[in-house]
Amino acid sequence: MTQTSENVTWLTQEAYDQLKAELEYLSGPARVEIAKKIEAAREEGDLRENGGYHAAKEEQGKQELRVRQLTQLLQHAKVGEAPADTGVVAPGMVVTIAFDGDPDDSLTFLLASREYASSDIETYSPQSPLGSGVNGKKVGEDASYELPNGRTASVKILEAKPYQS
């Protein structure tokens, strides 16, 4: 789980280890692989019309961007425990909300950094409009946030539990 406050990102040990392993792979073996792809494509001749070369260079650029993102994230990371089960919405919690107070129109999501997004559950960043609207609210309280069209939506917090992977 991650929780961002100012320039510090709080991570569980599991999340930190996962991101560190990704960084080590991208900084080592993946760099060697992409360099080999670029060299092989370069040997094919004219670089202006060499699709393989341009694709490999683009892949290298994306990979290096991810290395910089992970490096920065991990430099400012603090490893800590998952949030306590207090019924207060915080990063690292699975939150269930009801739109306009209607329990039949509800949404359950993980409030966490996109770095920890999972295919198991929808993830909303604490900096997103919905995430910042519900962060710090207690179960049973109402929260509001601004929609992209400028209108304000209100939700009721039905449940907030620490995420269990």
Domain residue limits, the chain: 2-79, 93-162
CATH architecture of 93-162: Roll (3.10)
Does domain 2-79 sit in CATH 1.20.1250.20? no
Q: SS3 helix, strand, coil % of the chain, rounded to 5?
A: 40, 25, 35
**Tens of pLDDT along 70-95?**
888 888 777 766 666 788 888 888 89
Buried/exposed 127-156: b ≥16 CB within 10 Å, e otherwise: ebbbbbbbbebebeeebeeeeeeeeeeebb
Q: Which has the closest alpha carbon to 79: 14, 152, 161, 155?
A: 14
Matching fold, domains 2-79 and 93-162: no
- Cβ 75 vs Cβ 7: under 8 Å: no
pTM of structure = 0.56
**Tens of pLDDT along 45-66?**
777 788 888 899 999 999 999 9
Phi, psi (rounded to 5 degrees) for 87 = 80, 5
